[in-house]
Chain A
Amino acid sequence: MISLGKEQVHETRAKEDEMSGGYMGKILNVNLTTGKTQEEQLGQELCRDYIGGYGMAARLLYDRIPAGANPLGPDNILGLLTGPLTGTPAVIGSRFVAVAKSPKTAGGWGDANCGGYFGPHLKFAGYDGVFLGGAAPKPLYLFINEGKAQLLDASDLWGLGVTTLEDVLKERHGKDIQICSIGPAGEMLSLTACIMNDKERAAGRSGLGAVMGSKRLKAVVVRGRMKVPLHDKEKITELRKKILKQPAPFFETLHNYGTCGITHDSALSGDSPVKNWGGAGTVDFPSERARKISDKAVVTLEGYKPYACWGCPIACGGKVVQKSGRFALELSNEVGHKPEYETLCMFGTNLLNDDLASIVKINEICNNLGLDTITVGATIGYIIECYESGLLTKKDTDGLEMTWGNAETIVAMTEKIGRREGFGDVLADGIRVAWEKLGRIGTEYAVHIEGEEVPAHDPKFTPGLAPAYLLAATPARHTQGGELLIPPGLEITQGDKYVYTEKAETHWKLLSLVEVCNAAGLCMFGYLNYPIQAIPEQLAAVTGWDYEMDGMQKTGTRIFTMRHAFNLREGLNPLTRNVPGRLVGTPPLSEGNVRGVTVDYKTLNRELLEAAGWDTRTTVPSKESLRRLGMDFLIDDMARVNVPAAAPFPNSD
């Protein structure tokens, strides 16, 4: 055990009148270089203005990560943050977020949201979040046990897959722990690496597994039974009952099938990518194929049992058994996690692979090695298309025939990527790096935005996704809001989705509100199923503060702006991000249910920036917009940022 020196965890807690309900009141700061830890009391103002999660993290890390820091260097800080509703009776208070400067997206803001059990248990262990800076001299793991933190030797754990790691740690510390960890992929600093929880829940995006690996931090283990303070326990309990009785538009689908319930429909509709974004579901992956990897096919797998994250009534996850056949599972007594929509799409629809067993196996590989399934599936899609086009041969791909729908080679290549073996080493950092290493071949096949592979929701089907993908601090994220994520009860004007003007107010509202959901520690599926008014009501009941919709939107806008400011200070202008032609229909598809569509993302973006009061060439927020949000502290910094100006929008004055 590394000596913690004099700065041991101490018992000082915030005074009763300094912190409201929902918060444990403190963050643990860990210096992995020196081995020292320090508790930091949370201030009310920070919590009120940024709520929690990545809102709070963006505000704090803006001050603490120096501009220009190497994302894989000791100056980067990895955070694991909860929100005030995490671990409370709120619907659905299961989430935490991992944050850091991202090594995957040009050193911009990175975050990845995750369910499971780690978030609530981090709070039960005494903390709202933990920040990990520096880099350990040798592999370590952090163990937080009822408010006391220790850094322990992980030399014997380094190299273990996530599944075995969790078993070993539970043997060592007891079954009542929860674990956040990386697999071998993160240890090898692969940008496709993610951070795992409960063996099979992933904080997938932004390459944060590599950040954790760069710090030689194998795991964060938490145990505790502390109670999350609630301002009005009776009220939040009553709210939960009331909310759960309300009709929920997608509850049945998610409860009965999970997100795999939409795989077939999304292939049909044009929502999901087909054949590396260049195909059409009705032609290349028609109904009879799509059904093989969707809804009933998935939940009737052997041994299927639903899995629910902490406190969740929906239980969209699941466990399945696959004991035999060429894709038999090898870990955890042949029990794996039901593949979710993104995994089924990126390894199924996107690769023309209708072999469900292979996707279950891929899920096991990715979960165990700690790989983001969106990123890896998309990267393999790029390679398959290069191979099918003759740009790559078997000589390049270690003898593997990388062809559409070739389940065996897709599985084999996934494992190679996870272990950085052979050609897998070329692919282990995602499409952009692979494209560079391969001499920039197949550019039109390389579908990513600023280094982040695009999830399985097509802006040609939902044009309102384009501003989220292209302008939000983390590029290529369907969970950043937009017209795909409209909560019940929200009054907005929608109209024809292929009319691109006069949408800014709606989009800005949607982008802002989802920030609050994410920062509060709520699951997106609660956001999509239950009336939006439930969020400020639950926040008020838990924290004791007054929350209402207008204030909520302003807070969300503040969080969105803070994350954006982090990028601006790094010299990153989202308007200069690459926009893959296939993503926006340039040229348009000639078949399928989004044929003929070219998304006018420039009009959407221009109007949004104008509505936000951000410069339409640099995206720098105006002084007035910052003052409106109470962000005067950013005015001088934003006046100094040095970002490349994008070309003027067409039809701009």
Chain B
Amino acid sequence: MRLRLACGHRKLWLHFPEDMPVNVAQALQSVKDKYPEVYERWCDSKGRLRSSLAVFVNSEHTRYRKGMDTELSDGDEVYVIPIIAGG
């Protein structure tokens, strides 16, 4: 299964075995070793998504699905956005 993990213009392609169910939390965890600087920006020391971020799957907020337990399918895009106030 191939997934796209994106934040702004930065995109990471993730590959998982076809028969392995993967959810949003697992997709985010998977970058920990290969992209530690990205992981640190997204997750705290306990592996929880930082409260200043919001996660979308194919442009829909995970709140409308199962949050971090939302299961992903081949080709899905997981998009992480920081919540910043703009002036």
A370-381 Cβ-contact flags toward B at 8 Å (1 or 0)? 000000000000
- Total interface residues in chain A, CB < 8 Å: 37
Query: In the complex, which residues of chain B have a beta carbon less than 8 angstroms from the beta carbon of A266?
Result: 86
Report the nearest A residue to B85, measured CB to CB: A484
What is the CA–CA distance of A485 and B83 in the complex, to the nearest angstrom?
9
Query: In the complex, which residues of chain A have a beta carbon less than 8 angstroms from the beta carbon of B36?
Result: none
Query: In the complex, which residues of chain B have a beta carbon less than 8 angstroms from the beta carbon of A593?
Result: 56, 59-61, 63-64
A268-B85 CB under 8 A given contacts A253-B8, A296-B9: no
What is the CA–CA distance of A265 and B84 in the complex, to the nearest angstrom?
10
The answer to whether B41 has its CB under 8 Å from any CB of chain A is yes
The answer to whether B82 has its CB under 8 Å from any CB of chain A is yes
**A340 and B82 form a contact (CB under 8 A):** no
**B85 and A457 form a contact (CB under 8 A):** yes
Report the nearest B residue to A482, measured CB to CB: B85
The answer to whether A566 has its CB under 8 Å from any CB of chain B is no
Considering the complex, which residues of chain B in the window 71-87 have a beta carbon less than 8 Å from any beta carbon of chain A? 79, 81-87
Report the nearest B residue to A204, measured CB to CB: B87
What is the CA–CA distance of A484 and B83 in the complex, to the nearest angstrom?
7
B4 to chain A, nearest CB (A): 13
Q: Which of the four size classes fits the interface of chain B?
A: 20 to 34
Majority secondary structure, A binding face: helix
**B51 and A494 form a contact (CB under 8 A):** yes
Query: In the complex, which residues of chain B have a beta carbon less than 8 angstroms from the beta carbon of A341?
Result: 86-87
A376 to chain B, nearest CB (A): 16
A282-B82 CB under 8 A given contacts A249-B52, A295-B9: no
Q: Which residue of B9, B81, B82, B87 is within 8 Å of A249 (Cβ)?
A: B82
Considering the complex, which residues of chain A in the window 222-264 have a beta carbon less than 8 Å from any beta carbon of chain B? 249-250, 253-254, 259-263
Report the nearest B residue to A525, measured CB to CB: B87
The answer to whether B31 has its CB under 8 Å from any CB of chain A is no
**B56 and A269 form a contact (CB under 8 A):** yes
What is the CA–CA distance of A349 and B50 in the complex, to the nearest angstrom?
27
The answer to whether B1 has its CB under 8 Å from any CB of chain A is no
What is the CA–CA distance of A341 and B82 in the complex, to the nearest angstrom?
14
Query: In the complex, which residues of chain B have a beta carbon less than 8 angstroms from the beta carbon of A494?
Result: 51
What is the CA–CA distance of A340 and B86 in the complex, to the nearest angstrom?
8
B45 to chain A, nearest CB (A): 13
**A485 and B54 form a contact (CB under 8 A):** no
A268-B83 CB under 8 A given contacts A295-B8, A295-B9: no
Query: In the complex, which residues of chain A have a beta carbon less than 8 angstroms from the beta carbon of B81?
Result: 262, 265, 268-269
**B41 and A249 form a contact (CB under 8 A):** yes
**B82 and A250 form a contact (CB under 8 A):** yes
The answer to whether A287 has its CB under 8 Å from any CB of chain B is yes
**A340 and B87 form a contact (CB under 8 A):** yes
What is the CA–CA distance of A615 and B10 in the complex, to the nearest angstrom?
50
The answer to whether A315 has its CB under 8 Å from any CB of chain B is no
Query: In the complex, which residues of chain A have a beta carbon less than 8 angstroms from the beta carbon of B87?
Result: 259, 340-342, 479, 524
Closest 7 pairs between A and B when the two form their complex, measured CB to CB: A341-B86, A259-B86, A265-B81, A593-B61, A484-B85, A250-B84, A282-B59
Q: What residues of chain B have their CB less than 8 Å away from a CB belonging to chain A?
A: 8-9, 41, 50-52, 54, 56, 59-61, 63-64, 79, 81-87
